[in-house]
């Protein structure tokens, strides 16, 4: 009995000795091989379908590439809340941050703080100056505006009175799209005119009210160019209520289920579907490449697909490819 007790005591001493050997415990707790890289996505509009799609692409990248992903952000377009969210992400000291700087002027100081903290930032959907981030993955906004002008001109026979609806008049990526659209029609389509540009703050009720006012004040408007995902369905509702479905051409943006459904029903002519899933997947991949010291492209065009009634049942297979 005494021998057994001694043996147990010796084994306990050996176990304690192994546990307190220098470096073993700290490597297990803090070594790079023991922890997954930690990446935070600061979503500018949590709950919005297109950014949920981007989240899904990022989650797939996390699953395949082996990083820990956290998603935070405001549920409304708000500069103050966005700044607070990015600063909160910086405070957590992740290995990288992925975000959408809709209004970079409001976020410029937080980008500086991230750089000072050694945290790389990857932009998706909306970009900032090249020296403020590692890379950008998103729509080529100039190409988007040019293509939108070409699509509308072809659909309307080169004659259109256009209302452009933005989420906000100062959102950088939409400003680029708008300017490219206006430059293209000025160059090639003299009978395509921009009558009014408005904003709806990404709110469907605001958009409905704006369209009601626009069609009353500007009955000549016969084409709507949407630069945010809320716009198309709100425009379709007002157009339908005013019996203008066959008189107003709506070119929406993004492929939410409601938008695609309205296309199938003939209430919306088409949408330019941005590949948000691909933005999320590549954003995650480039963040991991950066963490591991690999070079990544400064700019990646994630692409778009024109969705009409003809391909509304089949286009999704192209949307979820890396």
Pairwise CA distance, residues 194 & 185, whole Å: 9
Pairwise CA distance, residues 40 & 20, whole Å: 34
- Is pLDDT of 9 > 80? no
Supply the Cα-derived Rg of the chain in whole angstroms: 25
* pLDDT grade for 35, boundaries at 50, 70 and 90: confident
Evaluate whether 222 touches 161 at the Cβ level (below 8 Å): yes
Count Cβ atoms within 10 A of the Cβ of residue 85 and give its class: 0-12 exposed, 13-18 middle, 19 or more buried: buried
Same fold, 38-139+276-303 and 141-274: yes
Pairwise CA distance, residues 194 & 171, whole Å: 18
Tokens of 271: 């949408």
Task: Give the pLDDT of residue 34.
Answer: 54
Q: State pTM to two decimals.
A: 0.81
Angle, helices 104-116 vs 79-91, to 10°: value is: 10
Cβ atoms within 10 Å of 39's Cβ, excluding its own: 28
Task: Give the pLDDT of residue 11.
Answer: 40
Mean pLDDT of the chain: 90
Contact partners, residue 94, CB within 8 Å, separation at least 6: 38, 39, 40, 70, 119
Pairwise CA distance, residues 82 & 103, whole Å: 9
Sequence ranges of the domains in the chain: 38-139+276-303, 141-274
Q: Which fold has domain 141-274?
A: Rossmann fold (3.40.50)
Instruction: Tell me which architecture the domain covering 38-139+276-303 has in CATH.
Output: 3-Layer(aba) Sandwich (3.40)
- Give mean pLDDT, residues 137-147: 97
pLDDT in tens, 97-128: 999 999 999 999 999 999 999 999 999 999 99
Task: Give the pLDDT of residue 107.
Answer: 97
Beta partners for 198? 165
Task: Give the pLDDT of residue 253.
Answer: 97
- Is pLDDT of 231 > 60? yes
* pLDDT grade for 298, boundaries at 50, 70 and 90: very high
């Amino acid at each position: 009995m005494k021998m057994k007790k001694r043996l147990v005591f010796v084994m306990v001493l050996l176990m304690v000795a192994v546990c307190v050997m220098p470096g073993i415990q700290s490597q297990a707790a803090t070594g790079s091989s023991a922890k997954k890289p930690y990446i935070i996505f600061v979503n500018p509009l949590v709950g919005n379908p297109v950014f949920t799609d981007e989240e899904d692409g990022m989650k797939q990248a996390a699953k395949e590439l082996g990083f820990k992903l956290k998603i935070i952000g405001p549920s409304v377009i708000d500069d103050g809340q966005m700044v607070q969210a990015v600063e909160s992400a910086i405070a957590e000291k992740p290995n990288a941050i992925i975000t959408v700087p809709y209004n970079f002027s409001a976020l410029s100081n937080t980008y500086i703080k991230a750089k000072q903290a050694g945290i790389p930032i990857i932009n998706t959907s909306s970009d900032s100056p090249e020296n403020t981030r590692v890379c950008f993955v998103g729509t080529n906004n100039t190409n988007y505006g040019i293509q939108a002008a070409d699509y509308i001109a072809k659909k309307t026979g080169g004659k259109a009175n256009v209302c452009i609806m933005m989420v906000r008049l100062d959102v950088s990526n939409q400003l680029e799209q708008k300017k490219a659209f206006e430059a293209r029609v000025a160059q090639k389509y003299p009978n395509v005119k921009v009558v009014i540009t408005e904003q709806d703050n990404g709110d469907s009720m605001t958009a409905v009210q704006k369209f009601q006012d626009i069609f009353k004040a500007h009955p000549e408007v016969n084409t709507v160019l949407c630069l945010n995902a809320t716009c198309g369905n709100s425009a379709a509702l007002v157009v339908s209520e005013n019996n203008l479905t066959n008189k107003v051409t709506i070119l929406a943006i993004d492929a939410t289920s409601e938008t695609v459904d309205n296309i199938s029903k003939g209430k919306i002519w088409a949408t330019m579907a941005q590949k948000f899933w691909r933005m999320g997947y590549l954003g995650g991949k480039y963040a991991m490449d950066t963490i591991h010291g690999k070079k990544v492209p400064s700019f990646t065009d994630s692409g778009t697909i024109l969705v009409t009634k003809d391909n509304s049942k089949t286009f999704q297979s192209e949307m979820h490819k890396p």
